[in-house]
Copies of this chain bind each other. A is one copy, B any other.
């Protein structure tokens, strides 16, 4: 195999996948944005073969939609689908937070508070991409403690599908308030309050949905 295993070398298609995945999940691409095999191939100076694998993989995860003729573009979600994805987030993330709670020590809460400060800065600067990235980092850091890799992978797929739409929503809303629900989450973590944690996580995840129903 051409895949060098020494150190942490990654195959070309895997580098492409990770790079594009970040772009999509963190809202750097608008909904409906088209991508072509040769376009991406030229941008990354590779042939179309690894690009095809990366785009197909992203499409399989719902990060890209494929037109009937096979063209790739970021998905433009309907309101119904947004509601569904938000409900999935609520279901899974409440469970992940619950599983993380007994393992959440002070060091974790402090790390979360640091991330929370970064979120506040991003909000103040109205930097949508940084806001989305740090916000997801907050959630991921908490859920990593749940020791539930399959659940985390599933919810990350949901985040991925919502990426372009979240960018469009947050960019439109221009919210100015710091992350209120995150403070509730931190308080519940410190107090070991499981019911309170579940309510706080559910509220945080569902919050974005409310401003959709404008």
Contact = CB atoms under 8 A, between A and B. Distances in A.
Tell me the interface secondary structure of chain A in the complex. helix
Interface stretch (A144-152, A172-180, A204-212): A144-152
A62 B152 CA distance: 13
Contacts of A68: 5
Q: How many copies does the complex hold?
A: 2
Interface residues of A, number: 31
A118 interface: no
Interface in A1-19: 1, 3, 5, 11
Interface of A: 1, 3, 5, 11, 52-53, 56-57, 60-62, 68-70, 81, 84-85, 87-88, 91-92, 95, 148-151, 153-154, 157-158, 161
18 contacts: A1-B70, A5-B68, A5-B69, A11-B70, A52-B53, A53-B53, A53-B56, A56-B57, A60-B60, A61-B61, A81-B149, A81-B150, A84-B150, A85-B150, A88-B92, A88-B150, A91-B91, A154-B157
